[in-house]
Amino acid sequence: MTVLRTDTAPKAAPGAAEFPTGFVWGAATAAYQVEGAAAEDGRTPSIWDTFSHTPGKVRNGDTGDIAADHYHRYRDDVALMKRLGLTAYRFSVSWPRVQPTGRGPAVERGLDFYRRLVDELLEAGITPVATLYHWDLPQDLEDAGGWPQRVTAERFADYADIMAGALGDRVGTWTTLNEPWCSAFLGYGSGVHAPGRTEPAAALRAAHHLNLAHGRATEVLRDRLPATAQISVTLNLHHVRPLTGSAADADAARRIDAVGNRIFTGPMLHGAYPEDLIADTERLVDWPELVHDGDPAVISRPVDVLGVNYYTPTLVSTPADGAGDTRDDGHGNSDHSPWPGSEHVAFHLAEGRERTAMNWAIDPDGLYDLLMDVARDNPGLPLMVTENGAAFDDYVSPEGRVEDPERIEYLRGHLDAVRRAIAAGADVRGYFLWSLMDNFEWGYGYSKRFGAVYVDYATQRRIPKASAHWYADVIRRQRRMGALPEG
């Protein structure tokens, strides 16, 4: 069993320009975005199957039915990872593929796919990093109420037990949840993600039960896995900045930090929900009724590493009239806010910066600042950048190449931000590029390409982009001497 070691800090190699020896170089995907095979080998619908098949929910009516066909092409994809020199691959497990209704026994055919994938990775010398939940709740559980219901956290613990039993002998690094903020607030608040509900109180209840699911799964994994196993959670922490130096804008930043970040880091890492979050949202939810005795202790079970996902900073203000009619928050278009209790806060696009195809400002300093903030607030906790990347309007040239110099510059700047954070004392142990390959980009369907590898969806041909070759060169050089290559 291969483990991403986080119990001993990696030692910096000679030379200030270098990453630490033992630094993890990876790429990431998610099950519904790449696997396809949506109805094969016993898999039943997840909330994303239902959502994507609902007219008007996903651009162009796209679905993940086939996606990048990773379910059938995983061997070729692992061979491609090996050629790129990846030392780790972060993938997620499709909950309805292994436990179709979210209850009861596993489907062995579904488990077998992940066994084969992990064996292929290990044979290639690539460390598997398994994420239990990347948004694909079994539809049966949503029909019973979904994440706003406390029982869903218990079902998740049962699922974690199944996966630990199936892969615990060969997967040494586990992530409970990926970006629970999106699951709770885009899924149940603004409705731009599955299951598409627009209920502020339900979004807050979902956030608590996702926290509880993380804690319960952590308990199960600790009990079932070898003592050497590493357990983590991945959060898309918002690097929040006030638009001006006014007290009103500072309060706007505080509010968004509370419902965007501390609603998870508070109970997970410090054992309590922030008092200001409770004050901001108490008109929507009865916190004493929601949080049972003993919940904070369960939620705050220690993790070995914290995953940090970052793409762009968040710029906010409080309008003078108190009514926020601007919401360029980067989280899709909806008449309903994903910020319960702080719906009046206005969001802004940063001026004077290059943008990705998602219209997100490119700001590597935001990643540096975020890592330093997290390191300061959680001394001694190892960090991993578990997602970082950018979408651009990529195309195949007549010569059959995909040139993406904008992505190379994006990655160069953000890797340098990681390196600067390490030099300044942040204990960052690795970096996972989002994404290994182009895939189903949730509500945007196949219109946005984040991959280092281009996917021709008509033929499923994989074409490594210039950025993939650049990243491979980074890995080779860093493993040798620590210098970033020129473009």
Catalytic residues: 179, 387
Give phi and psi for 41, each to the nearest 5. Answer: 55, 40
Instruction: Determine which helix (DSSP H) or strand (DSSP E) holds 26, and give its type and residue range.
Output: strand 24-28
Of 442, 481, 438, give the one whose Cα is nearest residue 457. 438
Of 177, 324, 188, 175, give the one whose Cα is nearest residue 256. 324
How distant is the alpha carbon of residue 48 from its chain centre? 16
Give the integer Cα–Cα distance in Å for 392 and 452.
11
Instruction: Determine which helix (DSSP H) or strand (DSSP E) holds 118, and give its type and residue range.
Output: helix 108-123
**Cβ–Cβ under 8 Å, residues 430 and 385:** yes
Give the integer Cα–Cα distance in Å for 118 and 121.
5
Q: Is 39 helix (H, G, I), strand (E, B) or coil?
A: coil
Structure tokens that stand for 293 in this block: 């005795």
316 secondary structure, DSSP code: E
Give the integer Cα–Cα distance in Å for 179 and 197.
18
Place of tokens 């950018």: 390
